[in-house]
Amino acid sequence: MTTNTEPALSTPRTEPVISLRGVHAELGSRPVLRGIDLTVRRGEVVALLGANGSGKSTTVRSVIGQVPAGTGEIELFGTPQRRFRDWARVGYVPQRTTAAGGVPATLTEVVASGRLSRTRFGVFRKADREAVRRALDLVGMADRAKDSVDALSGGQHQRVLIARALAAEPELLILDEPMAGVDLASQEVLAQILRQQVDRGTTVLLVLHELGPLEPLIDRAVVLRDGCVMHDGPPPKAVGQHALPGHDHVHPHAPAGAEPIRTGLLS
Ligand SMILES: Nc1ncnc2c1ncn2[C@@H]1O[C@H](COP(=O)(O)OP(=O)(O)OP(=O)(O)O)[C@@H](O)[C@H]1O
């Protein structure tokens, strides 16, 4: 008899939740993604990094079908994206939007819109109303449930958008720069919320400019440049732009007006 002390090959973590192979995409007839390979496995927290315009948002938007992929393959939970219908399993927090988009709405109404995918014909049952309340509670905004989203700060908006994504109790969370325009205190709150989700086994793909307070959560960093993957591996260790591989660097003895020395991945 043999005793198997190795983890089973079928451990949930090996299951790809997102899989992109050779993905190309064009926007305005300009190639923006030029052969992206990216796999995110169940339970992983993967940060997508890169300079402005390197294709991070386009990559996540292609995953959720907002940008049509030209060539290449995209799979979600092992199903080709064009056949994937189970969108309630995916929570998405877009980049730099306000929760209301100019439409008067309460926090509950905005968060409830994220639950629609779990309802039958848009009818909210008790379990759905509870899920909405729970999502607001998770982001610490339950006491503001009936307030208008117009009255929120940038960090609070972001929390509501995360609650909207959490309302469907997704297995995969995709967040596009969740920390952008968010004050430090709210960043800590957002990091705490994400930590709870990760502890529950939620898979996370997030676009970041720098790791910041999320650094301890990140399993892997994928760095893009000009629509290509430049690095896929351990996240950079320290916090801040200077810690990221490849920040632009002007040598102290360089002549005035000299071009920055491009040191690597993020330039
Ligand atoms: N709708 C569009 N039409 C044409 N080009 C676009 C469109 N959206 C984005 N682009 C271009 O595609 C490239 C990649 O944009 P994308 O938003 O994916 O980059 P990013 O890495 O997320 O940048 P940032 O960090 O500034 O958000 C950029 O050059 C951008 O100008």
Give the residue, by CA position, lying nearest to ligand 1 atom 7. Answer: 27
Give the residue, by CA position, lying nearest to ligand 1 atom 30. Answer: 53
Q: How do residues 220-265 score in pLDDT, each as one tens digit? A: 999 999 999 999 999 876 544 444 444 443 333 334 444 443 334 4
* 10-14, 56-60, 228-232: least confidently modelled range: 10-14
Mean pLDDT for all residues in the chain? 83
- Give the tokens for residue 172: 């995969």
- Give the tokens for residue 143: 């006491």
CA 57 to centroid of ligand 1, rounded, Å:
7
- Note the pLDDT of residue 256: 44
- Note the pLDDT of residue 107: 95
- Note the pLDDT of residue 121: 84
Burial (CB count within 10 angstroms: exposed 0-12, middle 13-18, buried 19+), residue 52: exposed
- The residue assigned the tokens 């596009």 is 176
Return the ligand 1 atom nearest residue 224 CA: 21
Average pLDDT in the 5-24 region?
74
Distance CA 81, CA 71 (A): 13
- ipTM surpassing 0.90, yes or no? yes
- Note the pLDDT of residue 267: 39
* Pocket residue to mutate for ligand 1, from 24, 32, 56, most atoms within 8 A of Cβ: 32
DSSP annotation of 124: -
Average pLDDT in the 171-177 region?
95
Give the residue, by CA position, lying nearest to ligand 1 atom 10. Answer: 27
Return the ligand 1 atom nearest residue 177 CA: 27
Strands 16-27 and 30-41: antiparallel
CA 160 to centroid of ligand 1, rounded, Å:
25
* Pocket residue to mutate for ligand 1, from 24, 34, 58, most atoms within 8 A of Cβ: 58
pLDDT bucket at 189, cuts 50 / 70 / 90 = confident
Distance CA 145, CA 166 (A): 15
- Note the pLDDT of residue 190: 86
- Give the tokens for residue 61: 């938007």
- Note the pLDDT of residue 100: 55
DSSP annotation of 189: H
Helices 184-199, 154-166: inter-axial angle, 10-degree rounding: 10
Percent over 70 (pLDDT), the chain: 81
Average pLDDT in the 55-64 region?
95
- Note the pLDDT of residue 258: 41
pLDDT bucket at 185, cuts 50 / 70 / 90 = confident
- Note the pLDDT of residue 99: 57
Q: In terms of pLDDT, which residue wins out, 29 or 222? A: 222
* Pocket residue to mutate for ligand 1, from 20, 23, 27, 59, most atoms within 8 A of Cβ: 27
Q: How do residues 94-110 score in pLDDT, each as one tens digit? A: 986 655 566 789 999 99
Q: Domains (ranges, CATH) in the chain?
A: 12-262 (3.40.50.300)
CA 67 to centroid of ligand 1, rounded, Å:
11
Residues with CB under 6 A from ligand 1: 27-28, 30, 32, 50, 52-58
- Note the pLDDT of residue 263: 34
Q: In terms of pLDDT, which residue wins out, 143 or 11? A: 143
Candidate ranges 8-17, 124-133, 144-153, 240-249; pick with highest mean pLDDT = 124-133
- Note the pLDDT of residue 181: 78
Indicate if the pLDDT at residue 48 is higher than 90: yes
- Note the pLDDT of residue 152: 86
